[in-house]
Chain A
Amino acid sequence: GAVVSQHPSRVICKSGTSVKIECRSLDFQATTMFWYRQFPKQSLMLMATSNEGSKATYEQGVEKDKFLINHASLTLSTLTVTSAHPEDSSFYICSASRTGNQPQHFGDGTRLSIL
């Protein structure tokens, strides 16, 4: 159990486009979902924490208007990168946990490339 699906796996788009990434917990209900960004050869950097039905909590330095997070149900959270620019190119990974203090299970990530 504890399967997390992330879609799409790869996106290539033009500068100025908004991109939506979905994260779904397939076989469990996730009270809390997390969004990370990972640069090559580095660890995961937490961007925001979202609890179902509440506003997301963003980490310092992460623009909430740039990275819109919605956690409308116990199985789905979305991250929308608005008006994406080349510097937003990165590997974005979501994770989900049943409750806040349960282990996080990760999706397979989304490789975002902005031209």
Chain B
Amino acid sequence: GQQLNQSPQSMFIQEGEDVSMNCTSSSIFNTWLWYKQDPGEGPVLLIALYKAGELTSNGRLTAQFGITRKDSFLNISASIPSDVGIYFCAGQRGKGSTLGRLYFGRGTQLTVWP
């Protein structure tokens, strides 16, 4: 199935630094979602975006739904060791035969050094 282009694939940063990752797609999505997955667990929803141009925060996390509806970014400010994990973007068309289906990025592995 279609996958989103997520970058970077991995990041190694110092505690306290800011982080930015993004996803792009060749087609339009009506919803963008960002999930975090810890080893051996299921993904946890971080932020959901529903409108083009929307900028939403959740604590130290901020995500934006691109104006073209073909991209989204996630920023993490002042990273801490527990931010370690894999971050996935996901797009959802929300209509038609693919209603509800998520198209995932390949993930960004974040490592935070104390």
Chain A residues in the interface with B (C-beta under 8 A) = 2, 4, 6, 32, 34, 42-46, 49, 59, 91, 93, 95, 97, 99-109, 111
Write the chain B residue with the least CB distance to A9.
B40
Residue of B nearest to A104 (CB): B102
Q: How far is the CA of A101 from the CA of B35 in the complex (A)?
A: 16
Question: How distant is A97 from chain B, measured CB to nearest CB, in Å?
Answer: 6
Binary interface profile of B, 26-40, with partner A (CB < 8 Å = 1, else 0)? 000011010100001
Q: Residues of B within 8 Å of A, CB-based: how many?
A: 25
What distance in Å separates the Cβ of B41 from its nearest Cβ neighbour in chain A? 5
Bound-complex Cα distance A108 to B38 (A): 10
Residue numbers in A under 8 Å from B3 (CB-CB): 43
Query: Do the beta carbons of A103 and B45 come within 8 Å of each other?
Result: yes
- Asked if A107 contacts B1 (CB within 8 A), the reply is no
- Which A residues are CB-close (under 8 A) to B30? 101
Given contacts A103-B33, A103-B48, A104-B100, contact A43 B40 (CB under 8 A): no
Among B41, B48, B95: residue with most chain A CB under 10 A: B41
Report 8 cross-chain contacts, Cβ distance below 8 Å, ordered by A residue: A2-B45, A43-B104, A59-B1, A93-B43, A95-B42, A101-B31, A103-B45, A106-B42
Inter-chain contact A101/B40, CB cutoff 8 Å:
no
- Distance of A49 Cα from B1 Cα, bound (Å): 14
Q: Are B100 and A106 in contact (CB under 8 A)?
A: no
B11 an interface residue at 8 Å Cβ cutoff? no
B106 CB within 8 Å of chain A: yes
**A44 pairs with B99, CB closer than 8 A:** no
- 13 further interface pairs, Cβ-Cβ under 8 Å (given A34-B101, A108-B42, A109-B42): A6-B42, A43-B106, A43-B107, A44-B43, A44-B102, A49-B101, A99-B100, A101-B92, A101-B95, A101-B99, A102-B100, A106-B45, A111-B40
Q: Are A103 and B44 in contact, with the CB atoms below 8 A? A: no
Q: Whole-angstrom distance between the alpha carbons of A100 and B48 in the complex?
A: 15
Query: How far is it, in angstroms, between the C-alpha of A102 and the C-alpha of B40 when the chains are bound?
Result: 25
Known: A32-B100, A46-B102, A101-B99. A93 touches B94 (CB 8 A): no
